[in-house]
């Protein structure tokens, strides 16, 4: 393959999967993160040009989130540096239902670098390898989500769409809004977790102030502010309906949450 690919956020849920898929297809991949050489840190733009030197196409996952303060300025500067480095295509991971993320999408799509967006719903893997993975241990799934439904998406599907947008044709300027095939409440998620793990797990809806205080005690005030506002925004009912984004990009149905959790439980049981 002639193209050189880079993955920003290569140690994250989507990034490492995107990099693995690209390498499996025979592409040369530069995995970029804070601890790589060269390193890529969203808080150190003075090093971005060196990290992107010689890259043709790249996948980018912004940290901490495109809805965070300062993200719009960072994406605008990132697009300028990517253009100067000669990048020919950018695929940006975005969050579904986030107004701040939508503004970042618009900035990148309006830039001179050909770009595509993968706008994803809540990750199914948040319950197995993310911030809610301890629910199986504690027996409690606590969030300020009420009875709102969410079409949770398999991160493997997100990565597959991203790779298609990176390597396929006709993706420039497109927004791939991807979700799972069905919308579930968090109480229904807790029931599926109970079935797949063999442990009783209950969903406990929280008030926003209560959630903020709990996160602040563990992660600090800035993280608590970001997560609380994200929950307030995305759990207002705007994200209830599934989309056909995965089928449109890949020609197949997305994987459902039960399949993701069943496979994760089987893998955990098989580990020594």
- Output the pLDDT for position 132: 85
Percent of the chain with pLDDT over 90: 92
Interval 180-199 mean pLDDT: 96
Spans of all domains in the chain: 4-122+154-180+240-254
* pLDDT band for position 2 (cuts 50, 70, 90): very low
Q: Considering just the CA atoms, what is the radius of gyration of the chain in Å?
A: 19
SS3 160: helix
**Residue 68 carries which DSSP code?**
S
pLDDT for residue 98 is more than 80: yes
Angle at 18 between CA 59 and CA 148, to 5 degrees: 90
Tens-digit pLDDT profile for residues 101-125: 999 999 999 999 999 999 999 999 9
Q: What is the pTM of this model?
A: 0.95
**Predicted local confidence at residue 3, as pLDDT:** 64
Cα separation, 83 vs 247, in Å, equals 31
Over residues 15-24, mean pLDDT:
97
68-93 per-position pLDDT tens digit: 999 999 999 999 999 999 999 999 99
d(CA 14, CA 222): 24
pLDDT at 1: 40
Q: Which two tokens stand for residue 66?
A: 């495109």
The predicted structure's pLDDT at residue 137: 84
User: Could you name the CATH architecture of 4-122+154-180+240-254?
Assistant: 3-Layer(aba) Sandwich (3.40)
pLDDT tens digits, one per residue of 131-149: 788 887 899 999 999 999 9
User: Across the chain, what does the average pLDDT equal?
Assistant: 95
């Amino acid at each position: 393959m002639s193209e050189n690919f880079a993955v920003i956020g290569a140690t994250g849920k989507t990034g490492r999967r995107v990099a693995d898929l690209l390498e499996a297809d025979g592409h040369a991949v530069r995995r970029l993160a804070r601890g790589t050489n060269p390193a890529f840190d969203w808080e150190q733009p003075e090093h971005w040009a060196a990290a992107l030197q010689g890259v043709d196409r790249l996948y980018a996952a912004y940290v901490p989130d495109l809805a965070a303060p300062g993200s719009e300025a960072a994406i605008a500067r990132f697009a300028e540096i990517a253009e100067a480095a000669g990048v020919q295509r950018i695929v940006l991971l975005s969050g579904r239902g986030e107004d701040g993320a939508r503004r970042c999408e618009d900035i990148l799509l309006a830039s001179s670098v050909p770009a595509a967006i993968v706008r994803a719903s809540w990750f199914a893997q948040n319950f197995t390898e993310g911030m809610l993975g301890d629910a199986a241990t504690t027996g409690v799934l606590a969030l300020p989500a009420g009875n709102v439904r969410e079409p949770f998406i398999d991160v493997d599907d997100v990565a597959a769409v991203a790779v298609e947008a990176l390597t396929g044709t006709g993706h420039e300027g497109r927004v791939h809004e991807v979700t799972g095939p069905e919308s579930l409440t968090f109480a229904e998620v807790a029931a599926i977790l109970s079935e797949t793990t063999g442990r009783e797990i209950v969903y406990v809806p929280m008030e926003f102030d209560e959630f903020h205080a709990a996160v602040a005690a563990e992660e600090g005030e800035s993280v608590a502010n970001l997560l609380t506002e994200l929950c307030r925004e995305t759990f207002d009912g705007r994200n209830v309906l599934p989309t056909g984004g995965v089928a449109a990009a890949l020609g197949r149905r997305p994987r459902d949450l039960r399949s993701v959790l069943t496979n994760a439980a089987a893998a955990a049981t098989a580990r020594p």
